[in-house]
Structure 1
Amino acid sequence: MADITLSAAVRQNLLTLQSTADLMSNVQNKLATGKKVNSALDNPNSFFTASGLSNRANDLGTLLDDMGQVVQTMKAADQGITSITKLVETAKAKANQALQTQSQYERAQYAKQYNDLLKQIEDVSKDSSYKGKNLLAGEGNDLTAIFNEDATSKLTVSAVDYTDTTLSGGLNLQDLKEAKGGASSLQIEGGKATITFTNTSGNTLTSGSLISDATSLDTGDVLQLRTAASGGGSIVSGTSAITIGAGTTVQNVVDEINKAAGVRAEFDEKTGTLTITSNDNVFLRNTDGGAATPAPADLASVTANNYTATSQLLMNSGSFNVGDTLTLEDGNGYELGSLEVGKTTTVEDLVDFIKDFNGVSASFNTGTGKITIESDVSLTLKSDNKDFAAAAFTADTDGVNVVAQQDSGFASDEAINKTIDRLNNALSNLRAQASEFGTNLSTVEIRQDYTKKMMNTLQEGAGKLTLADTNMEGANLLALQTRQQLASTSLSFASQADQTVLQLF
Structure 2
Amino acid sequence: MADNITLSAAVRQNLLTLQTTADLMSGVQNKLATGLKVNSALDNPNSFFTASGLSNRANDLGTLLDDMGQVIQTMKAADEGIQSITKLVETAKAKANQALQTQSQYERKRYAEQYNDLLKQIEDVAKDSSYKGKNLLGGTGNDLTAIFNEDNTSKLTINAVDYTDTTLSQGLNLSDLAEAKGGAASFQLEGGSASITFLNASSDALSSGSLLSDATGIEVGDVIQLRTAASGGGAGVTGFTNITVGANTKVQDLVDQINGVAGVKAEFDEKTGALKITSNDDVYLHNTNASAATPAPADMVSVTSSNFTAASQLLTGSASYAVGDILTLEDGNGYELGSLEITDKTTVKDLTDFINDFNGVKASFSGSTGKITIESDVTLGLTSTNTNNFNASTFTADSDGVNVTAVQDSGFATDNEINKVIDRLNNALSNLRSQASEFGTNLSTVEIRQNYTKKMINTLQEGAGKLTLADTNQEGANLLALQTRQQLASTSLSFASQADQTVLSLF
TM-score, normalized by the shorter chain, greater than 0.5: yes
Q: Tell which deviates more after alignment, 390-399 or 245-254.
A: 245-254
Q: How much has 1:264 moved relative to structure 2?
A: 0.8
Contact 1:98–1:416, Cα closer than 8 Å, also in 2: yes
Distance of 2:222 and 2:474 partners within structure 1 = 146
Do structure 1's residue 456 and structure 2's residue 461 form an aligned pair?
no
Q: How much has 1:498 moved relative to structure 2?
A: 3.2
Give the aligned residue type for 1:396. D
For residues 158-211 of structure 1, what are the alpha-carbon distances to aligned partners after superposition, in whole Å with 9 as ceiling and x for unaligned? 111111111111111111111000000011111111112222222222222222
Do structure 1's residue 45 and structure 2's residue 46 form an aligned pair?
yes
Aligned residue for 1:346? 347
Distance of 2:58 and 2:73 partners within structure 1 = 23
Contact 2:219–2:289, Cα closer than 8 Å, also in 1: no
Distance of 1:349 and 1:290 partners within structure 2 = 50
Give the aligned residue type for 1:476. N
Q: How much has 1:291 moved relative to structure 2?
A: 4.5
Distance of 1:288 and 1:32 partners within structure 2 = 143
Q: Per the alignment, do residues 212 and 293 of structure 1 end up closer, same or farther by CA in structure 2, a change over 3 Å counting?
A: farther
Aligned residue for 2:223? 222
SS at match of 1:131: coil
Q: How much has 1:252 moved relative to structure 2?
A: 1.2
Aligned residue for 1:396? 398
Aligned residue for 2:483? 481
Distance of 1:23 and 1:273 partners within structure 2 = 145
Contact 2:187–2:373, Cα closer than 8 Å, also in 1: yes
SS at match of 1:194: strand
Contact 1:216–1:293, Cα closer than 8 Å, also in 2: no
Distance of 1:275 and 1:7 partners within structure 2 = 164
Q: How much has 1:431 moved relative to structure 2?
A: 0.9
Q: How much has 1:289 moved relative to structure 2?
A: 4.4
Contact 2:289–2:295, Cα closer than 8 Å, also in 1: no
Do structure 1's residue 446 and structure 2's residue 448 form an aligned pair?
yes
Give the aligned residue type for 2:141. G
Q: Per the alignment, do residues 4 and 271 of structure 1 end up closer, same or farther by CA in structure 2, a change over 3 Å counting?
A: farther
Give the aligned residue type for 1:314. L
SS at match of 1:482: helix
Aligned residue for 1:314? 314
Distance of 2:295 and 2:210 partners within structure 1 = 21
TM-score, scaled to structure 1:
0.97
Distance of 1:63 and 1:400 partners within structure 2 = 75
Aligned residue for 2:16? 15
Q: Per the alignment, do residues 468 and 443 of structure 1 end up closer, same or farther by CA in structure 2, a change over 3 Å counting?
A: same
Aligned residue for 2:234? 233
SS at match of 2:232: coil
- What does residue range 266-415 of structure 1 map to in structure 2 within 5 Å? 266-291=267-292, 296-307=297-308, 309-316=309-316, 317-385=318-386, 386-415=388-417
Give the aligned residue type for 1:329. E
Give the aligned residue type for 1:447. R
Do structure 1's residue 171 and structure 2's residue 162 form an aligned pair?
no
Q: Tell which deviates more after alignment, 164-173 or 285-294.
A: 285-294
Aligned residue for 1:87? 88
Contact 1:173–1:422, Cα closer than 8 Å, also in 2: yes
Total equivalences in the alignment: 504
Distance of 1:357 and 1:128 partners within structure 2 = 42
Do structure 1's residue 77 and structure 2's residue 78 form an aligned pair?
yes
Distance of 2:484 and 2:311 partners within structure 1 = 126
Aligned residue for 2:436? 434
For residues 89-122 of structure 1, what are the alpha-carbon distances to aligned partners after superposition, in whole Å with 9 as ceiling and x for unaligned? 1111111111111111111111111111111111
Distance of 2:294 and 2:347 partners within structure 1 = 42
Distance of 1:187 and 1:159 partners within structure 2 = 62
Contact 1:218–1:293, Cα closer than 8 Å, also in 2: no
Distance of 1:181 and 1:295 partners within structure 2 = 54
SS at match of 1:337: strand
SS at match of 2:389: coil
Aligned residue for 2:63? 62
Contact 1:318–1:387, Cα closer than 8 Å, also in 2: yes
Distance of 1:253 and 1:322 partners within structure 2 = 22
- What does residue range 491-502 of structure 1 map to in structure 2 within 5 Å? 491-502=493-504
Give the aligned residue type for 2:421. T
Contact 1:224–1:241, Cα closer than 8 Å, also in 2: yes
Q: Tell which deviates more after alignment, 272-281 or 485-494.
A: 485-494
Q: How much has 1:294 moved relative to structure 2?
A: 9.7
Distance of 1:144 and 1:156 partners within structure 2 = 4
Distance of 1:493 and 1:326 partners within structure 2 = 137
Q: Percent identity?
A: 78
Q: How much has 1:228 moved relative to structure 2?
A: 0.6
Q: How much has 1:19 moved relative to structure 2?
A: 1.2
- What does residue range 101-180 of structure 1 map to in structure 2 within 5 Å? 101-180=102-181
Give the aligned residue type for 1:457. T
Do structure 1's residue 213 and structure 2's residue 236 form an aligned pair?
no
Q: How much has 1:503 moved relative to structure 2?
A: 4.4
Do structure 1's residue 243 and structure 2's residue 244 form an aligned pair?
yes
Give the aligned residue type for 2:37. K
Q: Tell which deviates more after alignment, 193-202 or 323-332.
A: 193-202
Give the aligned residue type for 1:480. L
Q: How much has 1:426 moved relative to structure 2?
A: 0.9
Give the aligned residue type for 1:129. S
Contact 2:380–2:403, Cα closer than 8 Å, also in 1: yes
- What does residue range 190-201 of structure 1 map to in structure 2 within 5 Å? 190-201=191-202
Q: How much has 1:5 moved relative to structure 2?
A: 2.4
Q: Tell which deviates more after alignment, 181-190 or 486-495.
A: 486-495
Contact 2:326–2:342, Cα closer than 8 Å, also in 1: yes
Gaps of 5+ in 1: none
Distance of 1:391 and 1:403 partners within structure 2 = 19
Q: How much has 1:497 moved relative to structure 2?
A: 2.5
Give the aligned residue type for 1:60. L
Distance of 1:167 and 1:324 partners within structure 2 = 54
Q: How much has 1:355 moved relative to structure 2?
A: 1.3
Give the aligned residue type for 2:372. I
Distance of 2:456 and 2:47 partners within structure 1 = 20
Contact 2:218–2:289, Cα closer than 8 Å, also in 1: no
Aligned residue for 1:254? 255
Distance of 2:271 and 2:59 partners within structure 1 = 115
